[in-house]
């Protein structure tokens, strides 16, 4: 849903800010126009631009589910000028939202299948609403295996949901870190190695992965070794974006615009040009 | 057919400039550009140019444009920027009209770019057929032609006696000519010039096969990654968006950028999928010859030759196309 | 002359003294020249050298800092190499410089050779390269006296006339940064115009910003510009950039008696401080 002028963001107010990790915050906001807020619809996989007025805009994937009515949520990692400005905002601050843009995970098509979620660091963010959607519609899906990794234990995101996730029926949560700290009791391994260790079966399974480009590359190698077909591997890509609607010709991976044909892609759609990623 | 003398053409434009903004080719400092021309400046219009140095896309897609302004007070109130007013873009060649039509495919696709669309809806295109093409032109190799009226509202063709044949292409063009001092006359239409051929046949099918070739790195050796090729091109349209802050307001501004500038695709944190010169250069040709045609059905080049003339190191699209054809053989 | 160049390049590649030689070849218009990178001895016949070889090739050396590279240079170009050596951007031992004694190049645009000299040749002070490993042509020791007639013409304008003169030109600027990319002295990893925080100029292409860009860049090149004319040559809208650079060159000569690019060893004025420069600060 877009305004008459797709370059103009909706006015919104920041409701709540939660620290997820030392450099990632969860921003919860609401559109100022309540009629618009009620109608605002988006699906897991889509993204929107958040405007820190006076600094700029950056794209973020939605991490909440539209039907949950708990506000619109984004996970923001502080890494550049815009994200630094967003991190300085406090509840009550004015913020702009432009979107939703992009395609979404075709969760309808995955009904009846087993789902394998492989996330690294901030890459878990666009996968969180997928997990929560599946848990809300548990009987529609098969087994759910979640592999969630991060650089160190304090970089793991959504830790307060781990309990809900691991206790859900036919659901398994496997955590891992690249480097341990003094208190970590769990697994210490790179995410692709965990995929190799757990040997998930490709039978009737969709693998959805998101994380740093180098992690995606190696996870792909492991999944191919386990005989996953290209159409069974789904990822969401990130590229530099400005307009979000296929006009500024910047975000393409090969012939696909991440903002319009993506950000959700199956591996067979992008394998030709993946070296450019 | 309808004919107009040069003198009457200028007086018609003078008349139009009272109601419309007239944008026409003007030469100064040895450079020919499309500029708004007022009533008293109609004589400055240059009708004898091989082609202008910058394309007329500037009118619809200016180098910089404010998207919206936020006046700083308690609740940010967004004031959208106002768009264009009725205008006549005069004197463009068919290649440049095709360039605008190619940008239309991207900018008018859903969701339409409002700023571009408003100017587009309010501008009538009065074109000029080519009598002497430039040495670098090759419009006939990319589905165009020196007298092609397709994307214009009116096409003027100069005859030998300083008269112009006026071909009315669209209804909009016809309406503009309602009071124009035209005459009916039988005039021989000049034969359109013959242009050099560039082997573009099947180029879109061949491009995927040579993606990984080291050819792109070798060409990129001499590329200096300025933005000149994209800025002079009538159908390139990449842009950047940033916020500007002053005491009273914040403006979000969009400006031209090109895929050749270093850092074009670099995200915060430093990762850049096109960090090397070869990948950036390759992106330009693939966008023009593969990605755009796959998406919109037409090669993103009008054969105007400006990039060939302006490239400081002679990176020549005609040579690239010829080389690619040879590589696949 | 060209055979001498080709033979030398062939020898350099065959003995593996260098991996690549940067020179000139014929452009697609069959009239003018363009840069060429020769990697194989069998390719040396592509090399040419005549009055259409206007490009300054020394900037390409920055992409090949750690690789042994040869280069064909005119006197103005080798001043560029001196500048880069002076600023520690290149390793001398990785370079093999083929210097060519030059009597001037023509003013060229694609498919057009004008029968006139570009600004740099009109006011060229030296026809023998100040730096070379191998010289082509007989060295010319006389240097032409300095002549700033073009700059003086602008200096004689009133302040208002000068503002109008430059506004007339900067209004046309489309910030393609061709001048920056072609300039051997412009190699900052992040140019001041791309910096966001703090924002000096930004992306807006408008008269005010164009002033800051062009004048800012010129000042960053004071006592560094080696007058190769590339900025002016590549400008797609014909802004007479050399006038600004030459004004700063004239002032630098008067104030510091310094000529950039002549010597790789001498410390440039803006990289040093002398006590005699009385700033009115107490000891």
Say yes or no to pLDDT of B222 above 60.
Answer: yes
Mean model confidence pLDDT for chain B: 91
Chain C interface test: which of B314, B315, B316 (most C C-beta within 10 Å): B314
Q: Give the Cα separation of C265 and C83 in Å (integer).
A: 10
Question: So where are chain B's domains?
Answer: 2-62+81-184, 203-328
Please spell the DSSP secondary structure of C234-268, one letter per residue.
H-TT---HHHHHHHHHHHHHHHH---TTS-SSSPP
What are the angstrom distances between the C-alpha of A106 and each of A67, A110, A237, A265, A274?
A: 17, 7, 16, 10, 22
Q: Do B240 and A248 touch (CB under 8 A)?
A: yes
Question: Which sign, positive or negative, has the C-alpha torsion B42, B46, B51, B53?
Answer: negative
Distance CA A238, CA A214 (A): 13
- Tell me the pLDDT band of A1, cut-offs 50, 70 and 90: very low
Q: Give residue C111's pLDDT.
A: 83
CB nearest A247 (choices: B70, B107, B274): B107
Closest CA of chain A from B79, distance in Å: 9
This prediction has a pTM of 0.92
Q: State pLDDT tens for residues A199-239.
A: 999 999 999 999 988 899 899 999 999 999 999 999 998 88
**What residues of chain C, 195 to 254, have a C-beta less than 8 Å from chain B?**
196, 199, 202-206, 230, 233-234, 236-238
Residue A272, phi then psi, degrees to nearest 5: -60, -40
Asked if the Cβ–Cβ distance from A247 to B237 is below 8 Å, we say yes
Domain ranges, ordered by start, for chain C: 2-136, 149-266
* Domains delineated in chain A: 10-101 (2.40.30.10), 114-236 (3.40.50.80)
Task: Order the strands of the B21-28 sheet from edge to edge.
Answer: B31-37, B21-28, B87-92, B123-128, B154-158, B163-168, B2-5, B183-184
C contacts of B310 (beta carbons < 8 Å): 110, 236
Task: State residue C166's pLDDT score.
Answer: 96
Contacting residues of B for C196, CB less than 8 Å apart: 242
Does A2 have pLDDT greater than 60? no
Of C44, C110, C93, C99, residue with least CA distance to C77:
C99
pLDDT above 70: percentage of residues in chain A = 97
Express each pLDDT in B81-115 by its tens digit.
776 689 999 999 999 999 999 999 999 998 899 88
Write out chain C's pLDDT in tens, 283 residues: 899 999 999 999 999 999 999 999 999 999 999 999 999 999 999 999 999 999 999 999 999 999 999 999 999 999 999 999 999 999 999 999 999 999 899 999 888 898 888 888 888 888 999 999 999 999 887 777 888 999 999 999 999 999 999 999 999 999 999 999 999 999 998 899 988 778 888 889 999 999 999 999 999 999 999 999 999 999 999 999 999 999 999 999 999 889 999 888 888 888 887 777 766 655 5
Residue A88 has pLDDT above 60, yes or no: yes
Q: Burial of C189 by CB count in 10 Å (0-12 exposed, 13-18 middle, 19+ buried)?
A: exposed
- The answer to whether the Cα torsion of B271, B276, B279, B280 is positive or negative is positive
Question: Residues A11-23: what's their mean pLDDT?
Answer: 94
Contact at CB, B241 and A4, closer than 8 angstroms: no
Q: What six digits make up the tokens of B307?
A: 């990039």
Mean pLDDT over the full length of chain A: 92
Q: Running DSSP on this structure, what letter comes out for residue B45?
A: B
CB contacts of B274 in chain A (<8 Å) are 276
Which residues in chain A have their CB less than 8 angstroms from residue C196's CB? 56, 81
Looking at residue B96, what is its pLDDT?
A: 96
Q: Give the distance from residue A115's alpha carbon to the nearest chain C alpha carbon, in angstroms.
A: 42
Q: How many CB atoms are closer than 10 A to CB B145?
A: 19
For B226-268, the DSSP string reads: -SHHHHH-TT---EEEEEEE-SSEEEEEEEE--TTSTTTTPPT
pLDDT tens digits along B1-59: 889 998 899 999 999 999 999 999 999 888 999 999 998 888 899 988 889 999 999 99
Alpha carbons A72 and A65: distance in angstroms, whole number: 8
From the list C168, C205, C237, the residue facing B53 with the nearest CB is C237
Q: Is A200 helix (H, G, I), strand (E, B) or coil?
A: coil
Against chain C, the chains showing at least 3 CB pairs within 8 Å are: A, B
CA-based nearest residue in chain B for residue A99: B111
- The Cα B312–Cα B314 span in angstroms is 6
Q: Which residues in chain A are closer than 8 Å to B252, comparing Cβ atoms? A: 7
Q: Is residue B125 scored above 70 in pLDDT?
A: yes
When pLDDT is cut at 50, 70 and 90, the band that residue A275 belongs to is low
Q: CA separation (Å) from B12 to A39, B5, B24, B171, B178?
A: 52, 10, 13, 18, 11
Encode pLDDT of A164-182 as tens digits.
Answer: 999 999 999 999 999 998 8
Whole-number Å distance between alpha carbons of B304 and B52? 10
Looking at residue C195, its pLDDT comes to 86
For B171-178, what is the mean pLDDT? 90
Q: What number is the average pLDDT over the span A61-85?
A: 93
């Amino acid at each position: 849903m877009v305004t008459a002028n797709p370059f103009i963001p909706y006015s919104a107010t920041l409701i709540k800010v939660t620290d997820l990790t030392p450099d990632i915050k969860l921003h919860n906001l609401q559109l100022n126009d309540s009629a618009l807020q009620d109608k605002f619809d988006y699906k897991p996989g889509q993204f929107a631009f958040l405007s820190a007025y006076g600094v700029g805009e950056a794209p973020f994937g939605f991490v909440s589910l539209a039907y949950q009515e708990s506000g619109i949520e984004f996970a923001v990692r502080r890494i550049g000028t815009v994200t630094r400005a967003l991190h300085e905002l406090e509840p009550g601050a004015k913020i702009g939202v432009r979107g939703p843009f992009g395609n979404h995970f075709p969760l309808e098509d995955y009904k009846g299948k087993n789902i394998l979620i492989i996330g690294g660091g901030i890459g878990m963010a666009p996968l969180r609403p997928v997990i929560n959607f599946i848990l809300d519609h548990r009987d529609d899906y098969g087994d759910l295996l979640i592999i969630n990794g991060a650089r160190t234990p304090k970089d793991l995101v959504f830790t307060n949901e781990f309990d809900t996730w691991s206790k859900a029926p036919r659901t398994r949560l496997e955590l891992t870190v690249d480097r341990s700290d003094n208190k970590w009791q769990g697994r210490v391994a790179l995410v692709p190695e965990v995929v190799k260790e757990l040997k998930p079966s490709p039978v009737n399974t969709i693998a959805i992965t998101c994380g740093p480009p180098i992690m995606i590359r190696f996870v792909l190698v492991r999944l191919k070794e386990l005989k996953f077909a290209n159409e069974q591997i789904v990822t969401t890509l990130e590229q530099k974006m400005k307009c979000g609607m296929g006009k500024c010709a910047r975000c393409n991976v090969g012939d696909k615009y991440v903002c319009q044909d993506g950000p959700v892609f199956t591996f067979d759609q992008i394998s030709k040009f993946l070296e450019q990623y | 057919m309808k004919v107009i003398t040069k003198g009457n053409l200028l007086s018609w434009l003078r008349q139009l400039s009272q109601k419309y903004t007239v944008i026409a080719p003007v030469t100064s400092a040895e450079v020919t550009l499309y500029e708004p021309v007022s009533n008293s400046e109609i004589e400055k219009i240059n009708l004898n140019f091989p082609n202008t140095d910058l394309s007329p896309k500037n009118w619809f897609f200016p180098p910089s444009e404010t998207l919206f302004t936020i006046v700083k007070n308690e609740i940010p109130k967004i004031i959208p920027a106002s768009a264009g007013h009725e205008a006549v873009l005069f004197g463009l060649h068919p290649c440049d009209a095709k360039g605008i039509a190619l940008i239309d495919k991207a900018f008018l696709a859903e969701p339409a770019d409002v700023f571009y669309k408003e100017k587009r809806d309010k501008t009538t295109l009065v074109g000029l057929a080519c009598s002497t093409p430039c040495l670098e032109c090759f419009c006939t190799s990319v589905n165009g032609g020196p007298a092609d009226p397709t994307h214009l509202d009116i096409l003027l063709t100069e005859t030998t006696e300083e008269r112009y044949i006026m071909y009315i292409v669209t209804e909009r063009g016809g309406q503009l000519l309602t009071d124009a001092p035209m005459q009916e006359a039988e005039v021989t239409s000049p034969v359109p010039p013959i242009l050099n051929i560039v082997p573009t046949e099947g180029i879109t099918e061949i491009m995927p096969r040579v993606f990984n070739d080291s050819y792109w790195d070798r060409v990129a050796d001499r590329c200096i990654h300025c933005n000149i090729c994209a800025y002079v091109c009538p159908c390139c349209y990449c842009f950047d968006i940033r916020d500007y802050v002053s005491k009273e307001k914040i403006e979000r501004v969009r400006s031209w950028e090109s895929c050749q500038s270093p850092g074009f695709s670099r995200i915060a944190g430093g990762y850049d999928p096109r960090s090397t010169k070869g990948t950036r250069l390759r992106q330009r040709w693939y966008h023009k010859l593969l990605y755009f045609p796959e998406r919109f059905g037409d090669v993103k080049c009008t054969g105007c030759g400006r990039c060939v003339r302006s490239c400081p190191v002679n990176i020549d699209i005609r040579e690239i196309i010829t080389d690619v054809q040879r590589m696949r053989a | 002359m060209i055979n001498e160049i080709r033979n030398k390049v062939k020898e350099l590649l065959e003995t593996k003294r260098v991996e690549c030689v940067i020179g000139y070849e014929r452009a697609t218009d069959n009239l003018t020249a363009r840069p060429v990178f020769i990697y194989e001895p069998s390719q040396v016949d592509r090399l040419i050298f005549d009055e259409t070889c206007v490009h300054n090739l020394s900037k390409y050396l920055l992409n090949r800092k750690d690789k042994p590279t040869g280069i064909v240079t005119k006197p103005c170009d080798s001043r560029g190499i001196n500048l880069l050596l002076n600023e520690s951007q290149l390793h001398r031992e990785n370079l093999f410089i083929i210097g060519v004694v030059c009597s001037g190049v023509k003013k060229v645009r694609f498919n057009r050779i004008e029968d006139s000299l570009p600004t740099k040749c009109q006011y060229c002070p030296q026809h023998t390269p100040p730096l070379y490993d191998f010289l082509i042509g007989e060295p010319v020791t006389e240097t032409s006296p300095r002549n700033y007639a073009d700059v003086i013409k602008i200096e004689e304008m009133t302040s208002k006339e000068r503002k109008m003169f430059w506004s007339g030109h900067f209004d046309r600027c489309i910030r393609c940064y061709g001048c920056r990319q072609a300039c051997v002295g412009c190699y900052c990893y992040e140019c001041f115009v791309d910096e966001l925080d703090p924002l000096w100029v930004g992306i807006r292409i408008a008269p005010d910003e164009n002033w800051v860009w062009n004048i800012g860049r010129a000042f960053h090149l004071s006592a560094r510009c080696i007058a190769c004319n590339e900025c002016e040559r590549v400008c797609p809208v014909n802004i007479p950039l050399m006038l600004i650079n030459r004004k700063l060159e004239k002032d630098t000569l008067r104030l510091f008696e310094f000529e950039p690019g002549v010597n790789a060893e001498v410390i440039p004025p803006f990289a040093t401080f002398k006590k005699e420069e009385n700033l009115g600060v107490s000891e």
